[in-house]
Amino acid sequence: MSLTPSTMLPLGTKAPEFSLLDASTNKLVKLQEVRGEKGTVVMFICNHCPYVKHVNEELVRICNDYRVTGFGFVAISSNDVKKYPADSPQEMWNTARKHNYSFPYLYDETQEVAKAYDAACTPDFFLFDGALELIYRGQLDNSRPGNGIPVNGRDLREALDNVLNNNPQRTDQKPSMGCNIKWK
- What residue spans define the domains of the chain? 3-180
Coil/strand/helix, residue 98: helix
State the pLDDT at residue 4. Answer: 85
Whole-prediction pTM value?
0.96
State the pLDDT at residue 117. Answer: 97
CB neighbours (10 Å) of residue 150? Answer: 10
- The matching CATH number, chosen from 3.30.530.20, 3.40.30.10, 3.30.1130.10, 1.10.3720.10, for 3-180 is 3.40.30.10
Closest by alpha carbon to 77, among 46, 115, 31, 42? 46
State the pLDDT at residue 5. Answer: 83
State the pLDDT at residue 8. Answer: 86
Q: Which residues does 4 contact at the CB level (< 8 Å), separation at least 6? A: 120, 121, 177, 178, 179, 180, 181
Give dist(CA 48, CA 84) in Å, integer: 8
State the pLDDT at residue 6. Answer: 86
Q: Amino acid identity of 91?
A: E
pLDDT tens, per residue, the chain with 184 residues: 567 888 889 999 999 999 999 999 999 999 999 999 999 999 999 999 999 999 999 999 999 999 999 999 999 999 999 999 999 999 999 999 999 999 999 999 999 999 999 999 999 999 999 999 999 999 999 999 999 999 999 999 999 999 999 999 998 999 999 999 999 9
State the pLDDT at residue 74. Answer: 98
